[in-house]
Structure 1
């Protein structure tokens, strides 16, 4: 069994175990047992490690750091956490320094930044005690990465986004970011002094490389040249080659260079790779040869030398195949796809993209989807693989004369988009099991009078892929993705009040209508579509589709609109028409510094008269233990929470406020999945929550909350709603929902139309933020 397969199976084991526990909590023991049997099939064989604590910790550190450098973060975690436990009981400060530094570096790449900083500083202290300058230098290197990647505070990011929306071409870097870079530089320079003291060129090369990433122009080039000089002195050939590849990879991306300096950077990249290639040829190491050939192919790609790049990349892929290195196979097949397309071979490019996606699906449990900068690397490392394939499939479908083959290509494009949506949610929640898609065959069963709209943002155009009851349709709109993004961000900003005054939203709303609805209007009218399921992408997640207008009417007035994180993630069964036993929870008082919500009391009181069977947890009654007890003991169909909450760009920034503290997404999942009986929660409503302004990843939390909570549908808001609007809309929604012939989507539509018809509530600010997510029936 190869190491890649061994590691992969451990992740399947973990995922099956998690799902099995979910089945047990829902009183489905047969399914749980079947999954536990599968889990046992993936049990990993123990490798030989010393049994004495100190040697065992040292061996675990070595193996864990190797796994971390290969991107196997979850596997590295098991080794390094055990090593740290053993080291803490050891009297040896050198062992404690190494273990703290290793686990701190891992936590850094897992975005556990507070834990990472604590452990890296502990490593520094222990290294000073043990007089280990090389270990201290490595700790400074990782602390520098942590400081350089400090994320902008939400307020600063929102202000920057507002400037971008208003068209400012110069945006001041937030002071916090500047301070982070200054602290990073200080750590790197301290690390360099220690690396020189320890005569450790490997750490020195890494520090100079990170300084080059921090700087620009001739200063960055000098740092990179110094990194190359240090790398040449690394004793271990494999480590030297890896550092050469890293230096070569960064050289072409240096900014602020004049023409002569640009030439120097390119020559440095070529020279370094040639050195790496010559040294790799003397080693019996296919992985290193694959890395060198593939990176040389990438360098030729940047110079538009496509034929040479293809030859080198194919050779790199062959070497990766020989050792079953799935991570490299993914990387080189994606590169081959880009190269073949650029070289005028779209069919060959599609073959490569399909193979890349297969490798990506295999590796999806353990791909490190976070950069040190605190922002998800998903859009840089995974999304382009999916979108590259979708782009080719859509173009080939347009050239395909056979309608059957064209439909097959469009279905494959849709299925690829669905995989992308699931992967993006898994990335957001940092949980490979968060989104488990249904079989793609289910996606072909679109009900009559229903349409599914996938807007796909590509660099040169907007594609609309529409699933109808009689097949797939697509239309390309020649507007660049950047223009669509800017317009969507502008509409999202204008739908919210500015200085307590409602804003004019007509122009961006009408423009988005012309791009998203007008091109497909004929298909929808011909099929008498009355329910439109919207699967948004990027900044389109920030806008309510119902608020788009053609100047005479809103989308809301023609369609009941549903937002889906992905159709493959939605349970399509209709709502069983039975008594809606409901749990109402709310906070009207000021808690944890959040302002009071006086309208919540009236909202809950009104719902007590609307919903026939309900339990209410209000203010001090809405504590986490009581909430969990209610969900565990009573099979509620509807859970309604009227309390402060926000969905941010990461799960850590997403929460719902209980009286005794915040409930983050993982806690909400734990509380809600204790649901009594086998019947899932039908509807989770969050009437006072909002999504973070200006962050197009924030709605992923709102879109995924139903999945995490085990609910089939959720109703939430894209921004903080007024008390007047909530008190009018929410009871009307539940009244409509109790009518046997009314779906959830149409219940929300009718409630929103009721507000639209009231002159003082007709502005979309009042009715448009409410969106239905998930099941619409």
Structure 2
């Protein structure tokens, strides 16, 4: 296991690792840069933080007028004390309820954090160190599955089909849709793919997240099955599905769900969502992400795609532009 000082020394210039630890009556944030490690005590404990994160998430999903105030309150508690520098690459290591918080969307008078900083997440300090130690290789072939035929027209996702077709066109390949977007194809083709993109429905089991499932044609793929797959070729797995980044935090702060299952299987990074997503706005954002990805880091590509979504007419609410987070290798 890599130690914090070792990870800090390996951080590129212009990158800061923010490590939270939530305690009963207060919280602690460490900021790790290659030349310094700093500790900050934050005046918020586990129960109050859970309530504030839950309230923010609820206000976002309901498009409530309370969203801005809730976002600013959490920014003041969690981000403002850190002394982040404009333009820094910010990698968060969340703890407890912060695994479910849209930290990139927390705002002050200047706007959301992502207006000035690219943001990614790591499951632990050691995981961030492993990402940095891994060789930076170009992504291989794209596997794009979208709008699987689930046998019920009410479950069709036409914008998801447009999404994967457009992404595949950018990559010079073909997408698999409807009956071809099957569980069997996912199982057989994912191990050889450099990018795996799934635009489909997902079900999240909050009692036992290992039974969370991607809903594909002719069958489901559950999180527990993904643990046993070999996805070491996958530079990126994108789950363009409702709440695909949700799961359960164990007593030891192990996060169980799709995030852990894909990373354990060998995927280098994940794009997942924190709440139910809108079909058409998500399709536009994902196409924008891949257009930018060829010229900038994954984290910066997501930042640019989200800012473009924020500026889209009628979609300036975080519900539309802020659901996605990048977990794992941010390069």
Q: Does 1:595 align with 2:149?
A: no
Deviation per CA, 1:119-154, whole angstroms, max 9, x where unpaired? xxxxxxxxxxxxxxxxxxxxxxxxxxxxxxxxxxxx
Match of 1:549 among 98, 103, 107: 107
What is the distance in 1 between the residues matched to 2:327 and 2:118? Answer: 12
How far is 1:581 from its partner?
1.7
How far is 1:664 from its partner?
1.0
Q: Does 1:651 align with 2:212?
A: no
* Structure 2: gaps (5+ residues): none
Could you say which residue in structure 1 is the equivalent of 2:23?
Answer: 458
How far is 1:471 from its partner?
2.2
Deviation per CA, 1:196-231, whole angstroms, max 9, x where unpaired? xxxxxxxxxxxxxxxxxxxxxxxxxxxxxxxxxxxx
Could you say which residue in structure 2 is the equivalent of 1:576?
Answer: 137
Counterpart mapping for 1:618-767 below 5 A? 618-632=177-191, 635-649=192-206, 650-670=208-228, 672-673=229-230, 680-691=233-244, 700-739=256-295, 742-767=296-321
**TM-score (normalizing by structure 2):** 0.88
Q: Which has the higher helix share?
A: 1
How far is 1:627 from its partner?
2.8
- Quick check: 1:496–1:503 contact (8 Å CA) kept in 2? no
SS of equivalent to 1:684: strand
What is the distance in 2 between the residues matched to 1:594 and 1:648? Answer: 22
How far is 1:665 from its partner?
1.6
Gap change, CA 1:594 and 1:692, over 3 Å in 2: farther
How many residues in Structure 1 have an aligned counterpart in Structure 2? Answer: 323
Gap change, CA 1:456 and 1:744, over 3 Å in 2: same
The structure whose Rg is larger is: 1
RMSD between aligned residues: 2.5
Could you say which residue in structure 2 is the equivalent of 1:518?
Answer: 80
Q: Which has the higher strand share?
A: 2
What is the distance in 2 between the residues matched to 1:491 and 1:736? Answer: 29
What is the distance in 2 between the residues matched to 1:651 and 1:484? Answer: 22
Higher relative contact order (CA 8 A, sep 6+): 2
Q: Does 1:607 align with 2:175?
A: no
Counterpart mapping for 1:214-293 below 5 A? none
Could you say which residue in structure 1 is the equivalent of 2:58?
Answer: 493
- Quick check: 1:589–1:598 contact (8 Å CA) kept in 2? no
How far is 1:663 from its partner?
0.9
* Structure 1: gaps (5+ residues): 1-436
Gap change, CA 1:616 and 1:604, over 3 Å in 2: same
- Quick check: 1:587–1:643 contact (8 Å CA) kept in 2? yes
- Quick check: 1:580–1:611 contact (8 Å CA) kept in 2? no
Q: Does 1:775 align with 2:329?
A: yes
- Quick check: 1:495–1:503 contact (8 Å CA) kept in 2? no
- Quick check: 2:27–2:45 contact (8 Å CA) kept in 1? yes
What is the distance in 2 between the residues matched to 1:685 and 1:694? Answer: 16
SS of equivalent to 2:198: strand
- Quick check: 1:542–1:699 contact (8 Å CA) kept in 2? no
What is the distance in 1 between the residues matched to 2:38 and 2:5? Answer: 17
